[in-house]
Structure 1
Amino acid sequence: MDSRLAMQLNAWLALDPDPRTREELQRLAQPGHEHELAARFAGRLAFGTAGLRGEVGAGPSRMNQLVIRQTAAGLGQYLLQQLADAKSRGVVIGYDGRLDSARFAQETAMVLTALGINVRLTRRVCPTPLVAYGVKHFGAAAGVVVTASHNPPQYNGFKVYWGNGAQIIPPHDAGIAACIEYAAHQPVTLQSLLDAEQNGQLQWLDDDFFQSYRDAIWQSPLLQADAADKTIGIAYTAMHGVGAQMAKTLLADAGFQQLYSVAAQEQPDGHFPTVNFPNPEEPGAMDLVIAEARQHHALLACANDPDADRFAVAVRRGDDYQQLSGDQVGILLGHYLLHKAPAHQRLVGTTIVSSALLEQIALAAGGECYTTLTGFKWLANVGMKQQTAAQQFLFAYEEALGYIVGSLVWDKDGLSALLAFAQMTAELTAKGMTIWQQLEAIYRQHGMYLSRQVSIALKPDTADIGAWLRQNPPTSIAGMTVLSVADLKQGQHIFADGRVEPIPLPSSDVLIYHLENGGRVVVRPSGTEPKIKCYYQLVEQLVAQDELVAAELRGNARMDAFVQLHQASLPQ
């Protein structure tokens, strides 16, 4: 072991309060583990707009007790610098059902209260959307959720909300990161939870807090149904997460009685024993809830991810079930809410990689649609900024199964999305319509927007793909004319006729090719490995004699060819 690494190791061991991670580092210090030990000290786990997320383990590049303490200290110092009333407004803290989440949440509370900052800490596991709700509900300075959402069992995270109830965006991410770096070189002071409770700095959030969210959902006009068939069957899974109790309660409050929960996945379990990857987007993750739906002949098979901020659904189609894409759910909910909301509440939002169909639906309904970079930190913060008294925020979504319904929670909320989708389905059923018939009606009016995401692995020696595309701009892709290119890195929208317009989005290494007939390709090169992500969109028109299934088959065949031709045009 070189002397520099030995100094880093000894300095860390002198501060690490956890016997388990100390022992882990001491094992790695033995001969034969030099590479792994060096990786643990190659840098700190980076703090960004999504907070922290990484594997649990020893050292500064992992999630552990010392990293949590230093992160909490940095956050606390930043709040004290930025907000004169940070101490009294305090921080709301919640946590999911992962193995270390409760301990990490309590450590955060002990650090913040030692800095004089009041803390409201949930006494039990808590869905992530409730913390975002709690920040606004209590007028807190910030919120923290200890969660790794739908990542594998070995991960955990530290997610931060600002006082507006939305995830942090620049410059707060860099400001907090700088304070964490400073805190990492200082002693971190703690206050016991008992002392904090006795001196009034710690308030436990119990049933009344969860009830307040339940009441707020119940009072939202957007989440009420008119003439509706509440006898529809709904199968549900929490995917070993924290959503089951609230999800079942909200559905029961709304009058749904035919509820069937997947018992094997209902209770929080950080080992996630029945799924390979606890993300409802992953193949196989919905198998148990679809089996539950099939057993009871339920209409819907619904899922939240483990921290209940995402929502997924499979819908009965003939004798089987088909999972809707995130874009399809977003389009259905957007259409439903735009036709339900008052005229002064029709501002909706989506992202650069999600379907452009929502914008067409909004325009037809007299609403407005804004587009942001990927991530709910942007969807929420831009939505707040763009809304006016005459055009209030209604709905936003991204294709990765995230949805905001109304402004009760300024982040994706899988619980309110679940209820909204159930209410929409119940209203359609009462009219004698299915979800598939509603999709077909939307497609007939606006065109069937088909989407696909593909990650393309390139050879290690392939040139910088982003630079290559900028140096060799295509005039057509898969036989379709390129009408314009939006280069988010350069901040320019370049049209085929030579016009150039500025793009009002933060800089990001993204190229968006707008093609004839509504086609689109979004290319996101990777700056660290020979790989790109491509998001494809085609618009298939339904003719009078078309059936939806036939149009889908035709559109998917076009999409297959589109993707293959585009990939073949890239440098190999």
Structure 2
Amino acid sequence: MEASGINFDSGSSELNAKIAEWLQWDKNENTSNEIKSLVKAQEWKVLSGRLLKRLAFGTAGLRGVMQAGFNAMNDLVVIQSAQGLCQYILECYPSAAERQRGIVLGFDGRYNSKRFAELSACVFLTAGIPVWLYSRTVATPFVPFAVQELKAVAGIMVTASHNPKEDNGYKVYWTNSAQIISPHDKNIQAHVLRNLVPLESSWNLDLLRTDQLKDPFDDMYKLYFTKLENNIPKSFIADYNSTSTQRFVYTAMHGVGFPFVDRGFEIAGLQPVKAVKEQRDPDPEFPTVKFPNPEEGKSSLELSIKLANETGCDVILANDPDADRLACAEKDASTGEWRVFTGNELGALLGWWSIRCYREQYPGASLSDCFLLASTVSSKMCRSIADIEGLQFVETLTGFKWMGNKSVELMNQGKTVLFAFEEAIGFMCTPTVLDKDGVSAACQLATMVCYLKVTSNQSLADKLNELYDIYGYHCTITSYHFCYEPVTIERIFNRIRTMDSDAGGYPKAVGANGKYVVQSVRDLTTGYDSAQPDEKALLPASKSSQMITFFFENGAVITLRTSGTEPKIKYYAEMCAKPGQRDWSAARSTLRDMVNCIVEELLEPAKNNLTPRSD
């Protein structure tokens, strides 16, 4: 077979056709030559992996390594994806007047992010859909914010968030400004497959010179911070932020967050952050961190801790590279040790803070129609707070796409959504942005720190302990193992489902001599829930990911699931004590032992060559 002057025969007619398609369609010299080199080297297995599979819209739209092939992020795949999304929008909005609301596009500081956004813009401009393209790097929350404020039909953020430098992604928001969920993801994918042939115009960046392309940056920047200021009680800004000498070390993790957090602190009356200079500005190489992810804990905060120790700061704030997540560390005044708070701990603090702010802004208002949200693998501390304080609590599937869309549903019913969070350090402090927002979360958390210092001389750790006293101690353990072989992941979870023929297949207990007895099992991959009369789970099931939750007789809950964006098997464990119960060490010890049993007996890391989290 011959294509682009290259003779080849892989021995597979299907692969031959895909190679020919790629060489015919791809107009990027680098990726085209990449495929040509693999053909010349007769790397048929590599080519099969690159060309016979395709990136599909999932948890975060698209996300993958940047290289040639239909199963990766590159110019051709981005154009094909944009063409499919464009055709779906045309189908959903047949009225030209509706389509004039346009689509919002943003990009981060990763390699190719700006180019991918610009190529996408060309696709929509060709179809007569106006484009709001940010002219500079922005925090991810600025895309859903603009979709909501401009009443756009959709939004795209080009980012791979905290993934390694080799990756990029394509995060899609629908008209309601929340991330896409079914059926939109499946419908978009179907339209992509029907529009694979790239139009000549899709490669033509000269199309960007049109009055149909507008930059929303100045207007959205001003409006975002106006709304941020309105969401922090004026008395808190005047009485605590402006009078406090509290300083914070901040790292953008080589991402886009610094100018936005810097402005947010100014608006909120906070002292300017002490930024880690080596990590302050966007750098697609992420040269100072092994993983550009503050979820990694102290290993990702070494430079921040060094600067904080040198400058006498006792609180560190960290965004991930696209600034939609927030991490926080605090120095213990008595020991000098740094504590990196978990997402669950920050969720408890910010959940309480959201109620405190609401009561300050609306004295005497009822909380009965106010809601706190959390994903099903996150701590239920917010549920405990809601139960005692008279709020409502809603649990959703994992991911902010579910919490964002649920928030829309609640607000359409006249309800007030105060706060939503997931344990993966994602926080929505108000529905101004219907997604996790590390910029507003940083400003809110910093305001809380100032408030606690001035009003009660408490640290964040002190306040968290107080909340545990009032609402009950919630001990959580979350971590993960890397697993790079999908076949291994499937084998692990299939084994779990067939371990005990007398318990629906699932294990009846873990630990020596059945030490920890399983009360019920919920499998959201298959839709099974042994606790329900009909054995059908109440939350929606999804065959595209693995997720099994064990409810134990001692009250512990442990979930095993696969990540939608990374090669990880994650585990989430929680043990809840009653309010006033102070025997926390026993709960921690028991839960740690249970987690060790689950990992060793069900995941079998040594046998399956799983790599544990580094920190």
TM-score, normalised with respect to structure 2: 0.85
Residue equivalent to 1:21: 31
Distance 1:164 1:41, change over 3 A: same
Equivalents in 2 of 1:330, 1:281: separation in Å? Answer: 14
2:516 touches 2:594 (CA, 8 Å); kept in 1?
A: no
Equivalents in 1 of 2:493, 2:162: separation in Å? Answer: 33
Picking from 539, 542, 547, the partner of 1:510 is: 547
Equivalents in 2 of 1:472, 1:194: separation in Å? Answer: 60
Equivalents in 1 of 2:395, 2:415: separation in Å? Answer: 16
SS at match of 2:522: strand
Matches within 5 A, 1:50-449: 50-85=60-95, 86-185=98-197, 187=199, 189-190=201-202, 192=204, 195-198=207-210, 200-221=211-232, 225=236, 227-228=239-240, 230-283=244-297, 284-318=299-333, 319-341=336-358, 342=362, 343-344=366-367, 346-387=370-411, 391-431=415-455, 432-449=457-474
> For residue 575 of structure 2, what is the amino acid of its counterpart?
L
SS at match of 1:43: coil
Stretches of structure 2 that go unaligned for 5 or more consecutive residues are 1-9, 605-615
SS at match of 1:536: strand
2:384 touches 2:472 (CA, 8 Å); kept in 1?
A: no
Q: Compute the displacement of 1:126 (Å).
A: 0.9
Q: Compute the displacement of 1:340 (Å).
A: 2.6
Deviation per CA, 1:36-84: give whole Å up to 9, x if none: 2222112112222421111111121111111111111111000000113
User: How well do the aligned residues superpose, as a CA RMSD in angstroms?
Assistant: 2.8
Equivalents in 2 of 1:377, 1:460: separation in Å? Answer: 25
1:454 touches 1:533 (CA, 8 Å); kept in 2?
A: yes
> For residue 566 of structure 1, what is the amino acid of its counterpart?
I
* 2:42 is the alignment partner of 1:9: no
SS at match of 1:538: strand
Equivalents in 2 of 1:473, 1:28: separation in Å? Answer: 45
SS at match of 1:411: coil
> For residue 466 of structure 2, what is the amino acid of its counterpart?
A
Percent identity reads 34
Q: Compute the displacement of 1:320 (Å).
A: 2.5
Equivalents in 2 of 1:476, 1:27: separation in Å? Answer: 53
Number of aligned residue pairs: 563
Deviation per CA, 1:434-480: give whole Å up to 9, x if none: 11111111111222211123546779976823422563445555545
TM-score, normalised with respect to structure 1: 0.91
SS at match of 1:281: helix
Moved more, 53-62 or 214-223: 214-223
Deviation per CA, 1:242-266: give whole Å up to 9, x if none: 0100101101221222520001111
Moved more, 470-479 or 422-431: 470-479
> For residue 348 of structure 2, what is the amino acid of its counterpart?
I
Distance 1:337 1:151, change over 3 A: same
Q: Compute the displacement of 1:411 (Å).
A: 0.5
Equivalents in 2 of 1:525, 1:471: separation in Å? Answer: 22
1:425 touches 1:435 (CA, 8 Å); kept in 2?
A: yes
Moved more, 130-139 or 552-561: 552-561
Equivalents in 2 of 1:389, 1:203: separation in Å? Answer: 34
Distance 1:411 1:111, change over 3 A: same
Residue equivalent to 1:539: 576
Picking from 487, 494, 498, the partner of 1:468 is: 498
Distance 1:461 1:234, change over 3 A: closer
SS at match of 1:225: helix
1:362 touches 1:369 (CA, 8 Å); kept in 2?
A: yes
Equivalents in 1 of 2:348, 2:495: separation in Å? Answer: 32
> For residue 25 of structure 1, what is the amino acid of its counterpart?
I
Q: Compute the displacement of 1:162 (Å).
A: 0.2
Moved more, 452-461 or 139-148: 452-461
Moved more, 177-186 or 360-369: 177-186
Stretches of structure 1 that go unaligned for 5 or more consecutive residues are none
Equivalents in 2 of 1:531, 1:328: separation in Å? Answer: 22
SS at match of 1:312: strand
* 2:65 is the alignment partner of 1:33: no
Equivalents in 2 of 1:340, 1:8: separation in Å? Answer: 57
Q: Compute the displacement of 1:136 (Å).
A: 0.5
Moved more, 213-222 or 68-77: 213-222
Q: Compute the displacement of 1:563 (Å).
A: 1.6
> For residue 404 of structure 2, what is the amino acid of its counterpart?
A
SS at match of 2:300: coil
2:265 touches 2:272 (CA, 8 Å); kept in 1?
A: no
Equivalents in 1 of 2:295, 2:145: separation in Å? Answer: 25
Equivalents in 2 of 1:428, 1:526: separation in Å? Answer: 36
Equivalents in 1 of 2:412, 2:68: separation in Å? Answer: 48
SS at match of 1:295: helix
Distance 1:195 1:542, change over 3 A: closer
Picking from 557, 574, 593, the partner of 1:520 is: 557
Q: Compute the displacement of 1:536 (Å).
A: 1.3
SS at match of 2:141: helix
1:231 touches 1:258 (CA, 8 Å); kept in 2?
A: no
SS at match of 2:288: coil
SS at match of 2:219: helix
SS at match of 2:318: strand
SS at match of 1:518: coil
1:111 touches 1:188 (CA, 8 Å); kept in 2?
A: no
Distance 1:143 1:119, change over 3 A: same
Q: Compute the displacement of 1:489 (Å).
A: 4.2
SS at match of 1:208: helix
